[in-house]
Amino acid sequence: MIPFIDLKTQYGTIREEVLNNLNAVLESGQFILGREVSELEKQLAAFTGSKYALCCSSGTDALLMALMALEIGPGDAVITTPFTFFATPESVALRGATPVFSDIDLRTYNMDPEKLEETIRRVQSEGKLKLKAIIPVDLFGQAADYPAIRAIAEKYSLPIIQDACQGFGAKDATGAVAPSMGTIGCTSFFPAKPLGCYGDGGAVFTDDEELYGKMYSILVHGRSSEDKYDNVRLGLNARLDTMQAAILLAKLKIFPGELERRQEVAHTYMECLDGLATLPVILPGYRSVWAQFCLRSPKFREIQEALKADGIPTARYYPIPMHLLKAMKEYGYKRGDFPCAEEAASNIFALPMHPYLEKETIRRIAKSIARAVGQ
């Protein structure tokens, strides 16, 4: 089996630096927050052009911290996409707020700005819930259409929480770097994400000093900025381990080069797979970080079987749209509510994607797919 995501080859290129960084943490005896975490926050803020970056324990906790800082809770509605990883609507529901879905653009799999405005109007005219925020998702590594979404958000005075858990480093057509496009940006350093650590990790980003201050407090049980035993609000224990920051410092150094390689890999896939399945669409001027390389085909089952027989792993992101999950039952959605998300979920599948994928391997994968679809 070839690897779906090749963390072993990557480790080979950074072994010495990772071990040195980890050794420095072990020698220092400081395992929570500390110098490495502050240094990483400085570098993450600079990389994205955000004023503030704050590391935390996962992408899910990043979303929760953002929702808590914006004081979102029972009686509030948050609009997001039905085609994402469950953590997006789950974080909203965990706050006691109501996730309201708005269908995707089937080309990019991201939130459709036109449908977003219809959804906002509908929630407002129903008048049952107070609309508090929008969570666009940068699915598979491509930033959502932030120029259009921001114009709508501003029209209705709604903050944007950017779920860039798959999109760290992605660019939109204005050249903005994810997750700096929203009021608060969230990312994940789960090992399989484009920038991953060796455990769980995440970060929040913002230019707003007040929101930063609130999230700084929420990160450690609602501490006050002067005295950590003077708790001023309810918070979480959402800190990042020092060792994970030490690992991320080594990984961030090679990240720009890896992004270049990801562009080349995606480009080669596009060339080799043309006409064999529905290819990903990257909007003009956008740079995807290619967290996943996903195709759609009515013959996805046959393709997955053929690839498996040839030692090539595949995955399905995501086979069930959020509104049809059992855990979302209480919100009363039904099949047919979001045709684009349902269509995507019905026949999408993902191929191996990482910066160390060789051209030869990509050609082998393409040949296997061509045979499976009878071309």
269 binds ligand PLP (CB under 6 A): no
Binder among 105, 163, 258, 342 for ligand PLP (CB under 6 A): 163
Binder among 99, 196, 202, 321 for ligand PLP (CB under 6 A): 202
Residues 6+ apart with CB under 8 A from 321: 82, 83, 338, 341, 342, 344, 345
Binder among 21, 48, 50, 60 for ligand PLP (CB under 6 A): 60
Binder among 37, 79, 87, 353 for ligand PLP (CB under 6 A): 87
Check if the beta carbon of residue 318 is closer than 8 Å to that of residue 345: yes
> What is the C-alpha to C-alpha distance for residues 114 and 132, in angstroms, rounded to an integer?
19
Binder among 47, 59, 142, 170 for ligand PLP (CB under 6 A): 59
Check if the beta carbon of residue 190 is closer than 8 Å to that of residue 59: yes
- CB of 175 vs ligand PLP, minimal distance in Å: 23
The verdict on whether omega for the bond into residue 356 sits within 30 degrees of 0, i.e. cis, is no
Residue among 202 and 355 whose Cβ is closer to ligand PLP:
202
Q: Binders of ligand PLP among 167-196, rule CB under 6 A?
A: 188, 190
> What is the C-alpha to C-alpha distance for residues 266 and 272, in angstroms, rounded to an integer?
10
Provide DSSP, 285-314: T-B---S-EEEE-TTHHHHHHHHHHTT---
84 binds ligand PLP (CB under 6 A): yes
- CB of 350 vs ligand PLP, minimal distance in Å: 12
242 binds ligand PLP (CB under 6 A): no
x-marked contacts with ligand PLP along 29-58 as a string, rule CB under 6 A:
-----------------------------x
CB atoms within 10 A of CB 364: 17
Residue among 290 and 369 whose Cβ is closer to ligand PLP:
290
Bridge-based pairing state of the strands 130-135 and 76-80: parallel
What is the number of the residue whose Cβ is closest to ligand PLP?
A: 59
Residue among 166 and 297 whose Cβ is closer to ligand PLP:
166
> What is the C-alpha to C-alpha distance for residues 324 and 341, in angstroms, rounded to an integer?
10
- CB of 229 vs ligand PLP, minimal distance in Å: 28
| Token pair belonging to 116 | 């977003």
Check if the beta carbon of residue 57 is closer than 8 Å to that of residue 87: no
Binder among 45, 134, 137, 149 for ligand PLP (CB under 6 A): 137
108 binds ligand PLP (CB under 6 A): no
Residue among 47 and 85 whose Cβ is closer to ligand PLP:
85
Q: What 3-state DSSP class applies to 133?
A: strand
Check if the beta carbon of residue 187 is closer than 8 Å to that of residue 62: yes
92 binds ligand PLP (CB under 6 A): no
Residues contributing to the site for ligand PLP (CB under 6 A):
58-60, 84-85, 87-88, 137, 163, 165-166, 188, 190, 200, 202
